[in-house]
Structure 1
Amino acid sequence: VLRCGLGRPAELTATSRLLGVSGVQFLELAGLGTGTWVAVDRPVYVVVALPPASGSGPLQQIAAVIAKTLPRREVDVPH
């Protein structure tokens, strides 16, 4: 499942651990029963939910499309 234009995730803080995939910074949302990742360095937040056993391939493919389509910006964290 891919969703765009959601609000900033409450889990995104100045100390959040981010994962860089194909030039896109993702925040993992734990405890949702799926592999849920939020692209946090684009003009809109993009949420990707994948089956836990899907591996890294699908996230890499989606990240490549995000990197080509949406310009990068600084990660917006509350101060």
Structure 2
Amino acid sequence: MATNPDDETGREDARLSPALIATLVAVPVAVIALFITFAAIKSSNRPDADPIPVESYSLAQGEGADQCPAFIKALPDTLGDFTDKSVDGSTVRWTQADSEPIVLRCGVTRPAELAPTSSLQVIDPVQWFMTDTIEDRGQVYVCVDHRPYIAMWIPVGAGNAPLTDVSNLIARTLTRAPLDFGK
């Protein structure tokens, strides 16, 4: 212990300084606050925090919808590192640990935003229209040059292989159709 210079008797001061006490209290409180904040942010970024957009897309009853069962049956059991294919009606999911699933929905309605000036992504030989983008989560692609319309949710980190594999299957099994801008 240090000697208090103001003390004329020369005995040691047994009291802790107020600054040291404040530091001893503030550091653990700050650590706990940071831990709680981190936990709250992490839980709000859970993959299941918000629904995957493609799951809410409306299904069309028209052109090509009858081709969906055969198309879904032809889909591979795995897409890249995504496995455990599950089918629920017109919706197919492939899962991977620590990631949102890849979700495909067959027979969705034409994207209302599709216009002659829309930017399309060509993944040979199929044209995809990108619709719902969720930063740090993923992107929805809708195949717009074959019928029925196919929508796919591709989570961040999935890469291009799943979209390429499905594009090849679409080209082999579904009817090619002109782009429909909803005139």
Does TM-score exceed 0.5, indicating one fold? yes
Query: For structure 2, which runs of at least 5 residues remain unmatched after alignment?
Result: 1-102
1:24 and 2:126 matched: yes
1:15 and 2:15 matched: no
- Taking the TM superposition and a 5 Å limit, the aligned residue runs for 1:1-79 are 1-32=103-134, 33-79=137-183
Moved more, 42-51 or 28-37: 28-37
Q: CA deviation at 1:35?
A: 1.9
Identical aligned pairs, as a percentage? 37
* Root mean square deviation, CA, Å: 1.2
SS in 2 for 1:31: strand
Higher relative contact order, chain-length normalized (CA < 8 Å, sep 6+): 1
Aligned residue type for 2:120: L
Aligned residue type for 1:72: R
Higher strand share: 1
Q: How many aligned positions are there?
A: 79
Looking at structure 2, the residues matched to 78 and 15 of structure 1 have their Cα atoms a distance apart, in angstroms, of 13
Contact 1:35 1:50 in 2 (8 A): yes
Deviation per residue, 1:44-73 (Å, 9 max, x gap):
110011111111111000101111010211
* Structure 1 runs (4+) greater than 6 angstroms displaced: none
Query: For structure 1, which runs of at least 5 residues remain unmatched after alignment?
Result: none
